[in-house]
Amino acid sequence: MLQRERLFIDCIRLILNQCCEQPQREVAKLTGCTQLGAVYRGAGECEFCVWAPLLDHVQVHILTPEDHYVPLRKNAAGYHTAVTKCEPGSLYKYQLPDENEWPDPASRSQPQGVHGPSEVIDLQTPEQPITWPGIALKDYIIYELHVGTFSASGDFDGIIPQITHLKELGVTAVELMPIAAFPGRRNWGYDGVYPYAVQESYGGPEGLKRLVDALHENGLAVILDVVYNHFGPEGNYLSNFGPYFTDRYCTPWGMALNFDGPYSDHVRRFFIENGLYWVTNFGIDALRLDAVHGITDFSAFHLLEEMTAAIHERAQTLRRRIHVIAESDLNDARLVRSRELGGYGLDAQWNDDFHHAVHALLTGESTGYYSDFGKINHLARGYSNGYVYADDYSVFRRRRHGNSSKAVPAERFVVFSQNHDQIGNRMLGERLSELADTEAVKAGAAVVLLSPNIPLLFMGEEYAETARFPYFVDHSDEALLAAVQEGRKLEFSGFEWEVEPPIPHSEDIFQSAKLNLDLAREGVHKSIFDFYKELIHLRKTLLALQFPSKDRMEVIGYEPQKIMLVRRWYQSAEVVMVFHFGKNNRVLNFPFPQGDWTALMDSADEKWSGPGSKAPEAIGSDNEVTLELSPFQLLLYERKDTERSER
């Protein structure tokens, strides 16, 4: 790139950064407080700040240690504030003009549950600031887990002893499903109602800090799943304070949040500040934004762009790598396109198309959204382009869907063969290992971990965990529980599953989802665990796999043979992968890159509990080979004399 072009792009980037920073700075000036909620300032003083623009007056009722009321002062922007004597551990609620009292919308802690009082906690800058710099996005190998079911104790402290398991596996980042305060003691986390408060049954804010510190000490990044598209149905008292919601739109989960209507500047501030809270106070390295297709914002400066820019600016201030990752089913490349090119500038997004293409090939399922998938070319498109549907007609949707992601770098897509949604949103919560045989499970692992994208594993898949991961809740309202159960039935009507969904609020259902990590040391489970470890080792050490790039990759799908051939290279290093998705043993003749090749991985090998392989350990190709392949077999060949690397 010419120097003049670099200067032009730098100028545009500077202008865009200044534009995105200005709105939040202007909103902050109006608040009369630097942060929302109850912020302990030290020396026995606490600053309270709550946004309630339509209320004339608000008092903070400090319940402990000494019961008393403190009037708050309202400013022109509708923020009610006061600085008063108050120590960490004090419980409080806000009293509104009708004399009803409610927890703080920006509560940092709810020790007595979502209906109880909020708690003042001390989150002053620690004596030893967070020095963990984070890791580059291309080096992320993500392990998604649910805090409540990952360990017997079901809390943050229960995860720490298992970090050795994660290190042995080779993952580089741990993604925590939502931990914001939710009703009861068990929940997926997507019914949270206090975005700033860490779920008490998980260990509260101090437990989260201990876990993040322990993961960082072991070289693992931490991703936090946050929900900014809706609030849960129980314990949601936001509407008592102000116009946080709008009736102009709706979501599948309830009222839509007001991100583009009157007063929306302050609603946006509430959520952007929440993202900054996690990365600043707890050292979170990346945020995974849940279902951003449920965020409706028709303003010229979209919430996602504003939030991402604010987090990237904070990352520069903290001198850390901090990433923003979205979940979206829109197949809209604007999410991850750079802001200079008119995008929102997020760092990456989950690619559901990739999962659906893999799942349909491995299981043969063709109902619901799987009706759009099932061919080798679907997976080949996901590998080479990103989205499978890019302005293509979707039978499931009965319309065209998506736009092109061909120009989007491979490392901006997170791919998986399993995740919490695709398992838990099944009626019974079956894992892939229950729906397909061992060879298919290994094929799913290989196609994800050897892809040029960011791979994600769901807890337990690395050893074929037998426990299902069903949907579970712990609401206290009987009518709400009945509504949830009925909603689950309606949700699965399009999949033609002829069974009743489990009762989500059953304690037994929750307990049945607990992992048994000891399985990773036994029989076929150990073989699968070792297989996953080897795939990750190859991803880290083969130069051709280390540097994700669509430009250094060739993908060809052979539909009749059920084969996908992938060639990847970097400088003089080169590998070829053969993925066979056929369900029968077959002798196949097909094109193969010219040269001498050595086998590095054969999924049918008996050491991986495979049926045994007849594939050669070395190939001399004149642009064509004949191979005898078993069902769902992966072969990875490296060109002889290629460069190797250790990381």
Catalytic (active-site) positions: 290, 327
- Dig out the tokens for 261 from the structure: 């209507």
378 by DSSP, 3-state: which?
Answer: helix
Kindly give the pairing relationship between strand 221-226 and strand 173-176: parallel
Does an H or E element contain 41, and which?
Answer: strand 37-42
CA distances from 52 to 20, 101, 263, 344 (A): 25, 13, 11, 30
DSSP strand E in 424-495: where? 454-458
Q: Could you tell me the sign of the dihedral formed by the alpha carbons of 386, 392, 394, 398, in that order?
A: positive
DSSP reduced 3-state for 162: helix
Q: How many CB atoms lie within 10 A of CB 352?
A: 21
Torsion angle defined by CA atoms of residues 624, 627, 631 and 635, in that order, rounded to the nearest 10 degrees: -70
In this structure, what token pair is assigned to residue 419? 């995740």
In terms of Cα–Cα distance, which of 485, 479, 514, 483 is closest to 500? 485
**Cβ burial, residue 549 (10 Å; 0-12/13-18/19+):** middle
- Greatest Cα pair distance in the chain: 86
229: left (phi over 0), alpha (psi -120 to 50) or beta: alpha
Bridge partners (DSSP) listed for residue 394: 399
Tokens of 526: 């150990």
CB hemisphere CA count around 397 (13 angstroms): 13
Query: For 371-526, where are the E strands, in sequence order?
Result: 392-394, 399-401, 413-415, 454-458
Check: CB of residue 199 under 8 Å from CB of residue 213.
Answer: no
d(CA 71, CA 77): 17
Nearest alpha-carbon partner for 577 in 450, 441, 414: 450
Beta carbons of 186 and 148 less than 8 angstroms apart: yes
Under a CB-based contact definition with an 8 Å cutoff, are residues 360 and 366 in contact? Answer: yes
Helices 438-449 and 352-363, axial angle in degrees (round to 10)? 160
Q: Which two tokens stand for residue 489?
A: 């039935």
Reading the block at residue 372, the tokens are: 């759009």
Strands lying side by side in the sheet with 79-85: 37-42, 45-51, 79-85, 73-74
CA distance 327 to 565: 28
- Cα separation, 320 vs 342, in Å, equals 25
**Distance (Å, rounded) from C-alpha 641 to C-alpha 644?**
9
H-helix segments, 475-519: 478-491, 507-512
Q: Can you tell me the distance from the alpha carbon of 561 to that of 548, in angstroms, rounded to the nearest whole number?
A: 27
